[in-house]
Amino acid sequence: IRREYAWDRPSTVIHHGTDLQRFRPPEGAGEIKAIRSAFRVPDDAWLWLFIGEAAKGLREVIELLPRFPNARLLVISRSDLAPFQHLAKNNHSASRVHFHGPTPRPEDAYRAADTLVYPASYDAFAMVGAEAMASGLPVIVTDDGAARDFCDARTAFLVRSRRVAIAPGTGGLGPS
């Protein structure tokens, strides 16, 4: 507001709240196993979660997946997923991407996953980041997206740009 509208008066940012009863960590391995079974994901999978509109980074996540042969991706989205199914097929990761579509219980997806991967450069608030954190998930978000308002190097893994390249096993990041 200061930069774009030359606002020079004091201001306070009030973020959306997150329902901590609904978005909470899983109560144990049994709950995780049951939820993964409902999503048809193997119990022992290293499960990444992408939840939200596909335009908010799903392409980038699918493009990264071949670099992580042990990872699987659960996609919860109401977007048209056909182009992303085609992308996963073309990069030989289709068998590791679980396209679920929308769900009335997104809290289950958070409890099933091992990490949220959400490289959205634009999102008005990135509520999914707050919900994932409330669910006890580590989050990987971009430092140029809305999640930067409540995520920093202490609370999330921040990547420098929307198009990221992660070197497996090194933690190295940089633009692709």
Task: Write the burial class of residue 9 (CB in 10 Å: 0-12 exposed, 13-18 middle, 19+ buried).
Answer: exposed
Q: How many CB atoms lie within 10 A of CB 58?
A: 28
Residue 103 has pLDDT above 50, yes or no: yes
Tell how far CA 84 is from the center of its chain.
Answer: 16
Per-residue b/e over 101-122, b at no fewer than 16 CB within 10 Å?
eeeeebbbbbbbbebbbbbbbe
- The one-letter code for the residue type at 138 is P
Q: Which residues pair with 41 in a beta bridge?
A: none
Instruction: Please answer whether residues 73 and 97 qualify as being in contact, where contact means their C-beta atoms are separated by less than 8 angstroms.
Output: yes
pLDDT band at 148 (very low <50, low <70, confident <90, very high): low
Asked if pLDDT for residue 15 goes beyond 90, the answer is: no
- Contact call for residues 145 and 124 (beta carbons, < 8 A): no
Residue 169 scores a pLDDT above 90: no
pTM for this entry? 0.81
pLDDT at 2 over 60: yes
Q: Report pLDDT for 146.
A: 61
Whole-number pLDDT of residue 165: 46
Report pLDDT for 140: 84
Whether the predicted pLDDT of 144 surpasses 80: no
